[in-house]
Chains A and B, each alone.
Chain A
Amino acid sequence: MPTITVDGRQVRVEEGRTILQALDDAGLLMDGVDVPHYCWHPGLAVDGSCRLCQVEVEGLGGLQIACNTPVADGMVVHTTSDRVRDARAGVMELLLVNHPLDCPICDQAGECKLQDYAFEYGAAGARTREPRRALQKRVPLGPTIVLDQERCILCRRCVRFCREVTGTGELGIANRGDRSVIETFPGVELDNPYSMNVADICPVGALTTRDFRFKVRVWFLEERPGICTGCARGCNVWLGVAHGEVQRYTARRNDRVNGSWICDAGRLSYREIAAPDRLRTPLVRGEDGVLRSAELDVALDAATRRLRELIDAKGPGMLAALASAHLTNEDLAALRRLLDRLGVDAAGLTLVMGEGDDLLVHPEKGANAAGARAAGFGDPAPILERLRGGGLEGLIVLGHDLLHPTLLGSPDALDDLATLIVLDTHRSELERVADVVIPGRHLAEKGGTLVNAEGVVQEVAAAVEPPFPATAQAEVLDRLAEALAPRLAQAGGDG
């Protein structure tokens, strides 16, 4: 392995990498060694167009662009010399010649690399007197993205993303020189399942998502690490939190899981957290058959009573549990504890299957299907069979994936159950037949551990509080288990 010296620090690098790649591999880029760059991106091929990453390499004349200069054993690189700083200042001056400087109304302001480096290397004033180029400020490129041509610095990241990553190739640079603009071919929109990543990688405010545009000033956002629950990929995301609510997801780089990308559907799934159909209160069915909101204690009492009666009358063999693939390992472990105490064996995983692709989207629609299988929640078919045939008296359901057409479809088959206890995050048709419904927390509100389709175990912390009282599923289940314990201890004595 060749070794290079960067600002006096020895870095062991892999053959064939460029200086910038080697720094990134070593985890030093912008985290120990600052080499500002616009066009280079770890998930894209080298472009070498922005010239900001220039560094001094001993023995080579002029400055070299770090993104495209291959490492060689013994290479000595300087990234902080006056020459380098002057070069960066020069590049910044040129990039700013035509920039509209409309930061006050720009969504990127506050997380903009042009602002950051102008602040660090830029001059206080412009030396040009020519008018700045006037271009289109809001070009809809497709259903998800809006382009501001004036702010674009032509780094081609968006163009390369569409060519190299999605292979859809919707974007290009039309014209030449100071007339260059990002364009789509007339009649062809930027429209692919990953389109919104271009807003993440655009270093300036040229590309914005229709979803987040003008929603919140980014300096009000606190970025907290999270995981998308959309499918078994378990992509890493940043949750942008402001005013106690998740305002957006952006991709959080994890080369073992999702690289630097997330899919559009996953990106927009933050909306599920504060969705109007969130289950906001426990519900208990009264003697008169009407489901009414209740305190959690009351709901837990009702659930305990019903489960106890059922087991006393029919034994644990007539009870089953179905868990959704969205639950965390912690939730599943708690469910397992409860089932063990009740002596219930029948436990299945309600996993919805859908479309997948060869980039990220996985056909298993649930972030913890692998974790659930590892915890012993498997094929739900035998349980579904018994439900359809009236061979069960009671059911504990976590999540409503069970209602997916590929599983049970409608809740009708649950009509005959003596006891149906539901723990869920969102409202569903299950309310029609449930005896007790208890609201749980979204992953973003409770954190936990998930195992993705490749077996990568990922843990995240809670990022927001639910805007209504909701208790993490694991805690609800543990409280149920505890309430049922005396009866079970007694049952144990009997046995």
Chain B
Amino acid sequence: MVIPEAARDAIDAAIGRYPEPRAALLPALHIVQRELGCVPLEAARELAAIFAVAPVEVLELLSFYNLFRVEPGGRHRVNVCTNLPCSLRGARALLRGLEAHLGVAAGETTRDGRITLGHEECLGACAWAPMLRIDGDYHENLDLEDAKRLLDGLE
């Protein structure tokens, strides 16, 4: 079992909140990711057993949302919004610049395990485009130099 006991209890509690147990699969994925840092395939298989669905149904949900990952990422997740308003204000160049700065492509993790770089769809901060998100926090109205400084400051 890769899903720890405590997480299992949280999942059961989530199931209890919905008339249709299956509806708790999404919250369950969040619980597992919070607990394990990602949703490894083994955990997906366990969730499938808990919810009595085929494992591929968990995979469908897991891969539909880019918030979930099946492999542990770096200690920090840096996501640059590349939706239209951000792109009009230079988000793609920003992302390319950060790729060069960190030496990884979007979707990859730096060798020291510090940062997983990625891009993201609209986060509702268009008025302050371009923006990126570090873990839970928004950083807005950036140029490449600001962004590099932010990243360099990460543990």
Contact = CB atoms under 8 A, between A and B. Distances in A.
Interface of A: 163, 168-176, 183-186, 188
Contact of A175 (B41, B44, B56, B64): B64
A169 B56 contact: yes
- Can you list the 6 inter-chain pairs with the closest CB atoms, starting with the nearest? A169-B54, A172-B56, A185-B55, A172-B60, A174-B63, A185-B56
Nearest to B56: A172
Contact of A185 (B54, B64, B65): B54
Contacts, number: 43
B64 A169 contact: no
Nearest to A187: B41
9 contacts: A163-B54, A168-B54, A169-B53, A169-B56, A172-B57, A174-B56, A175-B63, A176-B63, A185-B48
Given A175-B64, A176-B64, A183 B59 contact: yes
A174 B54 CA distance: 13
A149 to B, nearest CB: 14
Contacts of B48: 185
Contacts of B45: 185
Contact of A174 (B53, B60, B66): B60
Interface of B: 41, 44-45, 48, 53-60, 63-66
Contacts of A171: 56
Contacts of B57: 169, 172
A467 B64 CA distance: 54
Contacts of B58: 185
B55 A173 contact: no
Contacts of A173: 60
Contacts of B64: 175-176
A168 B54 CA distance: 8
Nearest to A163: B54
A158 to B, nearest CB: 12
B153 to A, nearest CB: 33
Contacts of A168: 54
A172 B61 CA distance: 10
Given A169-B56, A175-B64, A185-B54, 19 more contacts: A168-B54, A169-B53, A170-B54, A171-B56, A172-B57, A172-B59, A173-B60, A174-B56, A174-B59, A174-B63, A175-B63, A176-B63, A176-B66, A183-B59, A184-B56, A185-B56, A185-B58, A188-B54, A188-B56
Contacts of A186: 41
Contacts of B44: 185
Contacts of B56: 169-172, 174, 183-185, 188
Contacts of A172: 54, 56-57, 59-60
Contacts of B54: 163, 168-170, 172, 185, 188
A163 B63 CA distance: 19
Contacts of A185: 41, 44-45, 48, 54-56, 58-59
B53 to A, nearest CB: 7
A171 B44 CA distance: 15
Most chain A Cβ neighbours within 10 Å, of B53, B60, B66:
B60
A176 B41 CA distance: 18
Nearest to A182: B56
Contacts of A175: 63-64
B1 to A, nearest CB: 18
A191 to B, nearest CB: 13
A183 B65 CA distance: 16
Contacts of B55: 185, 188
A131 B58 CA distance: 31
Contacts of A188: 54-56
B61 to A, nearest CB: 9
- The residue in B45, B57, B59, B66 that gathers the most chain A C-beta atoms within 10 A of its C-beta is B59
B13 to A, nearest CB: 26
Contacts of B59: 172, 174, 183, 185
Nearest to A174: B63
Nearest to A171: B56
A460 to B, nearest CB: 38
